[in-house]
Amino acid sequence: MIDIKFLRENPDLVKENIKKKFQDEKIALVDEVIALDVESRKAKQEADDLRANRNKISKEIGALMGQGKKEEAEEKKALVAAGAKRLAELEVLEKELQEKVTSIMMKIPNIIDSSVPIGKDDSENVEIQKYGEPVVPDFQVPYHADILDSICGLDKDAAGRTSGEGFYYLMGDAARIHSAMISYARDFMIDKGFVYCIPPFMIRSSVVNGVMSFAEMEAMMYKIEGEDLYLIGTSEHSMIGKFKGQIVEEKSLPITMTSYSPCFRKEVGAHGMEERGVYRVHQFEKQEMVVLCKPEDSMEWYDKMWSYTVEFFRSLDVPVRTLECCSGDLADLKVKSCDVEAWSPRQQKYFEVGSCSTLGDAQARRLGIRTKGENGTYYVHTLNNTVLATPRGLIAFLENNVNEDGSINIPEALRPYMGGKEKIMPAGKNA
């Protein structure tokens, strides 16, 4: 949510930003919210004037009573009573107008950074850089579900019986390598100086509304029936919500945290669920990084954060590239975002394994997260980035480490978490 003062002073800039995001249906909201804001401030000013006048008259009444001028005092009391009725009406009007202003402001997208490429959707995202050689081996790399089947590691049929489409059982070495990757991602970020955290896996609607747009919430979140609780789609939601309504000490900035959680998503859309694989599922696990910082430091942290994900995957012998998200692919609260994509030797193309975003002060403004410095109180900037989301990260690992004989190499970084194992062998074969 952008600052109403900024919108008031820069309506054309806000409209142009909406056009850049190809959301022309929202342009009319700018004039609508400006008109409501005028009414709201007018009502507030009249109410403030009435309160000031009430205080002034109250003092006059006291003086008149002290002078024995009871009749004049009663006349003044009648004025106060008349003002009180109007003040009550204005207070109701103020609240109604402010709620309308806030509702519309939450629909107007954040101002994107000037460096963001302009494009309608993810097909117009721009490659920034490749890291590692995208090798295509001289044998046919199996589909990831077949690799998992070969080590007796996946059971979607049983998950279909217990939970339905979009769920899975990981077993044996597949489950172990999955957990090893998560543990390694945790320690990787701790070594970068981030504080490890396990957050709540459910959050209230006030937090949901603070961290994401209405459209995202509807497409992503599972609501707990009969409760004001939602299952998180990423631990960023809980981690940013941790500071809701707080004034953090400026000297504590930047606050750098890495969090583990299971994640739950509806995955609403035309793409649907995979019949055999685990690329797009309703439940997965994730190691996230979250930063709260001063506004002037947010772009520096943005570059650090996505580079950590690149470094993490390269340490697992997975080639990756970074992709700049274009304006039309940015969620409404985001200022700038890039995806980290892993190489798929089977498909001979890249696929998303992580996403890094800076949201400016949008989440902080919605949730009331501020800090106080020499120049007064201001909203912090918030950033988030995926270290590892798996099983998608597991797919990248499998495809880039499987051998022609079906064995799977375990990179050195993961061996301490795998009991020193150097390879996973297919069922019935010995290392």
Q: End of a domain among 48, 80, 105? A: 105
Domain that includes residue 30, residue range: 4-105
Q: Domain total for the chain?
A: 2
The residues with which 330 forms a beta bridge, in sequence order, are none
| 133 falls within a domain | yes
Q: Are residues 90 and 192 in the same domain?
A: no
Does residue 114 belong to any structural domain of this protein?
no
Q: Kindly report the backbone phi and psi dihedral angles of residue 259, in degrees, each rounded to the nearest multiple of 5, phi listed first.
A: -130, 145
Q: Quick one: 123 exposed, middle or buried, by C-beta within 10 A (0-12, 13-18, 19+)?
A: exposed
End-to-end CA distance of the chain: 56
Q: Which of 42, 111, 102 is closest to 362 using CA atoms?
A: 111
What pLDDT does residue 69 have? 78
Q: CATH number, domain at 147?
A: 3.30.930.10
Same domain, 208 and 253: yes
Whether residue 116 is contained in a domain is answered as no
Tens-digit pLDDT string for the chain (431 aa)? 899 999 999 999 999 999 999 999 999 999 999 999 999 999 999 888 888 887 777 777 777 777 777 777 767 777 777 778 888 888 899 999 999 999 999 999 999 999 999 999 999 999 999 999 999 999 999 999 999 999 999 999 999 999 999 999 999 999 999 999 999 999 999 999 999 999 999 999 999 989 987 677 777 889 999 999 999 999 999 999 999 999 999 999 999 999 999 999 987 554 555 567 899 899 999 999 999 999 999 999 999 999 999 999 999 999 999 999 999 999 999 999 999 999 999 999 999 999 999 999 999 999 999 999 888 999 999 999 999 999 999 999 999 999 999 999 999 999 999 999 999 999 866 65
Q: Mapping DSSP to helix (H, G, I), strand (E, B) and coil, where does residue 209 land?
A: helix
Minimal CA–CA distance to 391: which of 424, 353, 422, 357? 353
133 and 86, same structural domain? no
Q: Give the residue from 77, 105, 133 where a domain finishes.
A: 105
Give pLDDT, residue 430: 61
Give the CA distances from residue 54 to residues 47, 121, 325, 416, in Å, rounded to whole numbers and listed in that order. Answer: 10, 56, 55, 74
In a domain, 414, yes or no: yes
Write down which residue in 76, 105, 134 finishes a domain.
105
Q: 94 and 187, same structural domain?
A: no
CA distances from 357 to 121, 202, 337 (A): 17, 22, 4
* CATH number, residue 91: 1.10.287.40
Domain membership of residue 430 (yes or no) is no
